[in-house]
């Protein structure tokens, strides 16, 4: 009897060991594992490469705009003080030389105006003012056009992400309608993951680009207002000096050139 009970205990132990052992079926698919976000993005399809290029381009634009769209590149206090002093001294040749050395937008406006007055000594001051306004409008338009690139990226990024989303959904439904057995569920989850990652990437690029577009657009508008104020100040001083001695300014400039 004792031998019979010991045999039962041994059989029960062996049966529980077999029951706890993992069972694998030949039809069970091997689920892919993702360790980090970078691997998930790399596995999200070729559309992610386009989104990655768009993100790099937007970051480059943001860095460049931070250093170029600033007040020192449009109107500087040092140039305005120098121009004011030279105009009050009626030193037009010195002002022209200083404008050629400076790279600010207001310096280009003054340089274009003085160059027109040099080449057209008999022109009316209203025409010189029109030249200054035209150059100022050109600078303002160029400034706004540069900022618009970020708005374009903010529009294109979500559309590219939506394109990747559609591709992922198509792959998911294609896997769902296939006859691959349990493997189709793996392909279905992979397609849905690809669609969601592309959507997230496109929205991330679009939102970031739109935020910085709003920032730089406001900054550009303030700089254009500063440029208009500085141009009006310079042209007012020129009109005072031009009315006092109209015949002397072109003669001096012609002798220099």
How confident is the model over 142-161, as pLDDT tens digits?
999 999 999 999 999 999 99
Rounded to whole angstroms, the Cα distance separating 127 from 81 reads 25
212 pLDDT more than 60: yes
Higher pLDDT, 127 or 249: 127
For 6-19, b/e burial (b = at least 16 CB within 10 A) is eeeeeeeeeeeeee
Distance (Å, rounded) from C-alpha 142 to C-alpha 210?
19
Query: Is 90 exceeded by the pLDDT of residue 57?
Result: yes
Q: 99 to each of 67, 79, 111, 245, how far by Cα in Å?
A: 21, 8, 6, 22
Q: Name which residue leads in pLDDT, 180 or 4.
A: 180
Confidence of residue 244 (pLDDT cuts 50, 70, 90): low
pLDDT one-digit tens code per residue, 26-53:
444 444 455 565 666 666 678 888 899 9
* pTM of the complete model: 0.72
CB 111 within 8 A of CB 100: yes
- Asked whether the predicted pLDDT for residue 93 surpasses 90, the reply is no
Look at residue 62 in the predicted model and tell me its pLDDT.
Answer: 95
Task: Assign 179 a pLDDT band (cuts: 50, 70, 90).
Answer: low
For the chain, where are the alpha helices, taking DSSP H only? 2-20, 37-42, 47-68, 71-74, 77-88, 92-101, 105-119, 125-176, 183-244, 248-256
Between 8 and 226, the more confident residue is 226
Q: How far apart are CA 137 and CA 241, in angstroms?
A: 24
Give the distance, in angstroms, between the CA of residue 256 and the centroid of all CA atoms in the same chain.
45
Q: Comparing 186 with 153, which gets the higher pLDDT? A: 153
pLDDT value at residue 254: 44
C-beta neighbour count of 163 within 10 angstroms: 16
Per cent of the chain over pLDDT 90 is 26
pLDDT for 256 equals 43
């Amino acid at each position: 009897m004792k031998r019979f009970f010991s045999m039962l205990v041994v059989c029960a132990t062996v049966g529980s060991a077999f029951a706890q052992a993992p069972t694998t079926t030949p039809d069970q698919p091997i689920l892919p594992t993702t360790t980090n976000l970078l691997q998930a993005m790399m596995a999200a399809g070729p559309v992610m490469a386009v989104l990655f290029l768009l993100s790099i381009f937007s970051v480059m634009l943001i860095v460049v705009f931070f250093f170029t769209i600033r007040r020192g590149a449009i109107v500087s206090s040092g140039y305005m003080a120098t121009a004011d002093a030279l105009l009050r001294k009626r030193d037009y040749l010195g002002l022209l030389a200083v404008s050629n050395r400076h790279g600010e937008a207001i310096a280009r406006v003054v340089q274009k105006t003085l160059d027109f007055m040099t080449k057209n000594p008999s022109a009316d001051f209203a025409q010189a003012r029109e030249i200054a306004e035209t150059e100022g409008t050109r600078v303002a338009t160029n400034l706004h056009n540069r900022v618009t690139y970020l708005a374009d990226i903010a529009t294109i990024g979500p559309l590219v992400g939506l394109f990747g989303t559609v591709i992922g959904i198509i792959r998911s439904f294609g896997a769902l309608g296939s006859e691959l057995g349990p493997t189709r569920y793996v392909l279905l989850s992979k397609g849905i993951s690809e669609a969601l990652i592309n959507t997230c990437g496109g929205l991330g690029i679009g939102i970031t680009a739109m935020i910085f577009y709003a920032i730089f657009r406001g900054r550009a508008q303030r700089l254009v207002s500063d440029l208009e104020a500085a141009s009006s100040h310079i042209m007012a001083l020129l009109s005072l000096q031009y009315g006092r001695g109209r015949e002397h300014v072109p003669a001096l400039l012609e002798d220099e050139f």
